[in-house]
Amino acid sequence: MEYKCVDAGSRRCPCVLMEAGQCYMCTMSRTGKCGCGAEWEGACPYTEYVFNGPKTDGLLKPFGARVSEFVCYSDQLKVVRLAVPAGFAQRCRVPGSYVLVESLGCKVPLSVLRSWVRPGVDEGGFVEFAVQPAGPKTIDILRTDAEEWLVSGPFEAGLCGAGRLRPEEPLLVVAKGTAIAPYINIADRVKARLLVDGDKLNEDFLRDYTGEYEPVNLSGEMERVATATDNFRQIMFLASPYYTEKILEMRPDRKDDIITANHANICCGVGICGACSYTDKDGVTVRRCKCEV
């Protein structure tokens, strides 16, 4: 099976997996033999790694981002806005962007809900997140007295298949709860029919962040969702793995047309912890926080 790293060629490449001899894209790091061939274009991450030490630049350093707004939509849903450098806000607009927030000595991955650069030179920008207080880490970062968050990123693997998105073509979006964030982040750049299961969202949030949408209840209406997919060439399905597997079972022939949420595969998000490890039938183990088939 051929794998592709979402970070290949980015400022996060080469990464700790190159140091560990486990880079998915570089056979040189794994076997000592280059498999790229004459058609390879662009900089070689392995050469960069060797010239650098051999070592990588390590992990992205977290920085303090000021909490500039905190909106409480309900006990189950808050939106936090951070003031960030303009370049960071700009990079957060990439489809599938998420950041890591330090909490209780661990990190919380959060999908970007919306981000924008303030007009004017060097005025910085903002990035927003919809957060549910689901456990100790999210409860901690939602303390109302928190003046800043320690964030690193942005990372781009929040969607599986984001590279297949064709913004000029109509898109069907099916979303449940706060998993809707990656769609809202690109809503100004796509034309979508939107089906929303409002689990833990509320009317005020949906009014503020979406345009027209059709309510749907995924637990009882998957047949309706599957029928809707038949009218679109590209679909974004943003829900838990349970429903994602269900739609892929109902429409197995549409696998390459469906962009899905990757949040269930993101823990450390940088290829270290192994929580997202997946071993395929050939015995190849990859980290799904960085890796796409």
The binding site for ligand FES (CB under 6 A) comprises: 266-269, 271-276, 287, 289
Maximum pairwise Cα distance, the chain: 57
Indicate the residue among 161 and 271 with the shorter CB distance to ligand FES: 271
Residue 1 Cα to chain centre, angstroms: 23
Q: How far apart are the first and last CA of the chain?
A: 7
Nearest residue to the partner ligand FES, using Cβ: 289
R_g (Cα) of the chain, nearest Å: 20
- 3-state DSSP call for residue 253? helix
Helix (DSSP H) and strand (DSSP E) numbers for the chain = 9, 17
Q: Shortest Cβ distance from residue 267 to ligand FES (Å)?
A: 4
Q: What is the DSSP string of 26-88?
A: -HHHHHSS----TT--S--HHHHHHHTSS----SPPPEEEEEEEEEEEETTEEEEEEEE-HHH
Indicate the residue among 115 and 262 with the shorter CB distance to ligand FES: 262
Q: Shortest Cβ distance from residue 22 to ligand FES (Å)?
A: 11
Q: Shortest Cβ distance from residue 285 to ligand FES (Å)?
A: 11
Q: Shortest Cβ distance from residue 7 to ligand FES (Å)?
A: 12
- 163/142 Cα distance (integer angstroms): 32
Q: Shortest Cβ distance from residue 72 to ligand FES (Å)?
A: 30
- Residue 33 is given by DSSP the state S
Indicate the residue among 36 and 104 with the shorter CB distance to ligand FES: 104
Indicate the residue among 86 and 268 with the shorter CB distance to ligand FES: 268
Indicate the residue among 86 and 272 with the shorter CB distance to ligand FES: 272
Indicate the residue among 83 and 268 with the shorter CB distance to ligand FES: 268
Q: Shortest Cβ distance from residue 58 to ligand FES (Å)?
A: 16
Q: b/e per residue, 151-166, with b = 16+ CB within 10 A?
A: bbbbbbbbbbbbeebe
**Kind of pairing, strands 98-103 and 148-155?**
antiparallel
Q: Shortest Cβ distance from residue 157 to ligand FES (Å)?
A: 9
Indicate the residue among 91 and 288 with the shorter CB distance to ligand FES: 288
